[in-house]
Chains A and B, each alone.
Chain A
């Protein structure tokens, strides 16, 4: 029996919607079967909390008196450089930005103690931050220098805008070399001494709707502790990859671009992260409700860690040099057991995505829906799926000789 989102929203309004998390639904389906469960259950909630580098926020800081044109000038917030190439007082902060005087990897491995992500966390926590600006001055915006404390509540708009979040599956990282390496997948010890992975597996949003049947442009979501929306597919969205019989990608695949009002978010769900020897990134809490429109949708939400597989990739040689291929395929059940076998060797595993917090996101979202404070939205356009022709490409470099332009072959 098929349902519509409108019908589900009516039940949510009355406080009568039946909601389970993507973890709980597994047992519900096991005991009731998909047909009965699909008839009874209205919404399945997903969640994830993990480092997502392509995150950022834009702000309108308000006009000073006399006015200053930050556009085309230079601005730092707590010493983190922000992008100013907009109108007078709109600025953009990227999660991975770091202060000019951070030693980076000059003293290897760098610590990257503070950056754009920590700045976003501090602002969301209500802290005062230092805004320092230099501008060139115009007749209408005469001021050239501005130094002030500023808080999130002082700003006109403060919006989280993440151009790639919620990766649908990801690599398992190992190090085949004989030296320690520091990567965005964490510290990898030599000769397969550890392996890291980064997905919430059976709780992860896009792994519960692998072919993007319900998640699309405009889907209302849990973002950073508040309410956000799916903008569109994220950058590097790559739906056409090998998949399991259930349609679940066997490697990194779909991504989402998401946005939401930063002022209603919380620093529990937006956390600055310092990856030793790599840089700064933002851990983002994100959860998506999946309306159980029919049996097919429900069946896909009942996916388990045993059903989801990922590829083991060497980050000492293969990854940096774009060498395709995999050292093997492992399931999230194996990854979460604490060890996997790679090249015949038992390798201890560790996550970068917090499963405990993913469960918490899914439960918060479940609570919001059950109490009637969160309505589902219809998607206004689908995300590109397997047959869309959307593909992720590597950069084809064309050397610039004597300032001439070289055309693509």
Chain B
């Protein structure tokens, strides 16, 4: 089993294509939609956690890319600005996945891209604007 967190960027002409359905039925993948923004005549955007056998995942993503989707890892859209962070830990209790976590003895804060689901709960919790999500 392989799991990836990705953003699917849909060009406007693909908005009527049931891409998610095809990934599930034809490629046997589990697709968990974390966020979605679909507006007529504009690029649509889907943040998904997608999992399945490595072979199926590769084939499914190839299918979506061939269709014209622009696929990027979610990690690129979420940024923890370590220069701005004062390591107060305010974000840590609202992060639902533990992506923002505290090493308890020394109290250092760290951010794990792999665990982030871009829920944005950390954004209002950080007084120093250290978390940025580019959507």
Give A residues with C-beta under 8 Å from B: 49-51, 109, 113, 182, 186-187, 189, 194-196, 271, 273-277, 281, 283, 336-338, 348-357
Contact = CB atoms under 8 A, between A and B. Distances in A.
Contacts, number: 75
20 contacts: A50-B88, A182-B124, A194-B93, A195-B93, A276-B124, A276-B125, A276-B127, A281-B127, A283-B86, A283-B127, A283-B128, A337-B104, A338-B102, A338-B104, A350-B88, A354-B87, A354-B89, A356-B87, A357-B86, A357-B87
Classify the interface of chain A: helix, strand, loop or mixed: strand
Interface of B: 86-94, 102, 104, 106-109, 124-125, 127-129
B21 to A, nearest CB: 35
B124 A350 contact: no
A353 B106 CA distance: 14
A355 B107 contact: yes
B102 A196 contact: no
- Interface majority SS on B: helix, strand, loop or mixed? loop
B107 A271 contact: no
Contact of B86 (A49, A113, A281, A336): A49
Nearest to A49: B86
Q: Which 9 A-B pairs have the closest CB atoms?
A: A350-B93, A273-B127, A276-B124, A348-B93, A194-B93, A356-B87, A355-B107, A351-B89, A354-B88
Nearest to A281: B127
A187 B86 contact: no
Given A274-B127, A355-B89, 11 more contacts: A51-B127, A113-B129, A182-B124, A187-B124, A196-B90, A338-B92, A348-B93, A349-B93, A350-B125, A352-B88, A357-B86
A178 to B, nearest CB: 17
Given A187-B125, A273-B128, A274-B129, A336 B90 contact: no
A275 B125 CA distance: 8
A350 B128 contact: no
A137 to B, nearest CB: 41
Contacts of A281: 127
Nearest to B105: A336
Interface centre among B104, B107, B109 (most CB of A within 10 A): B107
Nearest to A339: B93
Contacts of B127: 51, 186, 273-276, 281, 283, 352
